[in-house]
Chain A
């Protein structure tokens, strides 16, 4: 273009350059604008079957942690005001240990009354005995007098009457004593019933009463139980198995369990028993109004000793090996048959 010095053409020079730059810009924009459709890993560990179970047939279920004794709701035999509360949640108690006492003043005063009646009966007995002795001495004296004229016949009869009256009085006083003593014994029993004791060794899980509150024998119903306790050493888990999966569960094999929200922390729980009754599923999704047409088999597993990883009432996710059912279509089923049986043997051994 040396011969055309002022050869500058918008159409021929600038436009193609604009077009090429435009295409490059467009390519970059398009490349950068492409949406990221890549899969990402979850931020938090979701529950997953681990180890051998990951590649083999298995049954999954959700469950709740419960004490091995199941939950025991402590009640009271007698209504009244709580005067003394001896335990708090988290305490471990021995069998027979006092949990709380109910106001005993009414019983105590009736005991005092009974004691007073006893003393009074005893005094009556003494008095009757004294009277009887006097009458008997008088009667003996009259009987020793040979001279019939010395003692009038009527005198003798009166003395005999007095002696027998004194006898009756003594018997009455004795029965009164028995009655008073029986009343005292009953009062003492009542007193004992006002002290609530642990029915077994275990951990206090919840205390819903405070001293001064009135407890009635009608406890329960809408109100919370007074005290909930249970044997938490060891803990059990109760796992709901969908009825469709019941026959696939390898009964006796240990389950892989992780608590909700800490799926990375997995433990092996050993088989305890399956409940004989298949029950409607109680929803673990916190929705009270949920109507359910699913029935579940509840299977109990014993959790190993873990340091506070599991707590009573917590939801857990569990994976249980499946039986190598012969109808299973997929290849890995045969492998799992062996592992499942092995697990069952271990479970039985415990």
Chain B
């Protein structure tokens, strides 16, 4: 009987493709928008994710995210090092500065000062040059998205000179990073160097990056550091979450994308619901005949379910494929750098599709169920 059901479904090409389009479009819209939303919002945590060594970040009590920070006195580093369970701790500076390019343009940049000796705080991989270039005097490493913003036309920035706070800086490498939410140019340099590049203020130490000893969880250690030093210590995931929350709270992104996702869902429900209802209505006489001949309601429900499943599976597959194609084809664009599809997103859209199909299938099925077999004689 399922075979007949599938035949019935695919026999009506217009409605079949209408259903497919509805499901696929809705899946594409929901998946793609959710993906962009998640990635955009996770840009708020890129500063944390670009540092792969630190388990715990220590900062001033009022600091909120990697970008919104308040500097601490330099002895904070030693205080943190004195806490039991701290395997290592290194200074980390993040501050905004203005850079004068060779052309004389002014560009806002984020200066990131990494530990002089160990270079902890640099992104894990480099596109051009090696991390050790920072040991050369006046060296900075630029991030790859910053490169596209500051040096148009694909010129390699290596060797370019910049002027930072009246100091000379030479770009000697390009780091592979996830850009920040604002795609601000990031310049990585040694901590001691960064102190010279950032206009003076009393305290400079933005963060202390901490590695945990074996056997201590980062949450435990963060709590202990907070208690002992009076500073704010957050595990990596927590700070990343704070960055994400900051974007969520301070931008209209969640609302905008939420609306789009809901629209996608509504469009899906509308197209699929209408088409499916029309399809069932067109075939109501056949279903009635089948009921009269002696097909149980259960089998009829199975047939409708098979039709819904087939439409849903193909439509969903095409929709997800479309999203993948979209992300893949835009992966070269700096705006979409590092975009990925979180595995939860296709599952969410799957749930949405199942909802759409169950909802519309159920409504359609109700019509079939209510059909009296006696109606075939009228």
Contact = CB atoms under 8 A, between A and B. Distances in A.
A22 B192 contact: no
Contacts of B117: 44, 46-47, 260-261, 263
Interface in B137-187: 178
Given A261-B117, A281-B75, A330-B84, A35 B338 contact: yes
B159 to A, nearest CB: 24
A64 interface: no
B210 to A, nearest CB: 10
Interface string A41-79: 111111111000011111111100000000000000000
B327 A39 contact: no
A322 B82 contact: yes
Contacts of B6: 12
A317 B78 CA distance: 9
Interface in A279-294: 281, 283, 285-287, 289-294
A277 interface: no
Contact of B120 (A46, A248, A261): A46
In this complex, the interface size class of chain A, counting residues with CB under 8 Å from chain B, is 35 or more
Interface stretch (B261-269, B318-326, B364-372): B318-326
Interface stretch (A13-21, A82-90, A157-165): A13-21
Interface string A278-310: 000101011101111110100000000000000
Contacts of B195: 285-287, 290
A281 B81 contact: no
A61 B79 CA distance: 8
Interface stretch (A24-32, A94-102, A213-221): A24-32
A37 interface: yes
A16 B6 CA distance: 12
Interface stretch (B61-69, B196-204, B274-282, B293-301): B196-204
B318 A285 contact: no
A129 B262 CA distance: 131
B317 interface: yes
Contacts of A42: 53, 88, 118, 120, 211
Contact of B324 (A19, A26, A57, A330): A26
Contact of B340 (A12, A35, A287, A291): A35
B63 to A, nearest CB: 19
A263 B87 CA distance: 12
A313 interface: no
Interface in A234-248: 240-242, 244-245, 248
B316 A19 contact: yes
Given A26-B323, A48-B88, A57-B84, 15 more contacts: A11-B10, A18-B321, A41-B53, A42-B88, A43-B131, A46-B211, A62-B78, A242-B75, A245-B79, A260-B116, A261-B116, A292-B74, A294-B74, A296-B75, A330-B84
Interface of A: 9, 11-12, 15-16, 18-20, 22-23, 25-26, 29-31, 33-49, 54-62, 240-242, 244-245, 248, 260-261, 263, 281, 283, 285-287, 289-294, 296, 317, 319, 322, 329-330, 332
16 contacts: A16-B314, A18-B314, A20-B313, A29-B341, A33-B340, A36-B52, A39-B53, A43-B131, A46-B115, A46-B120, A55-B84, A58-B81, A260-B117, A263-B118, A319-B81, A332-B84
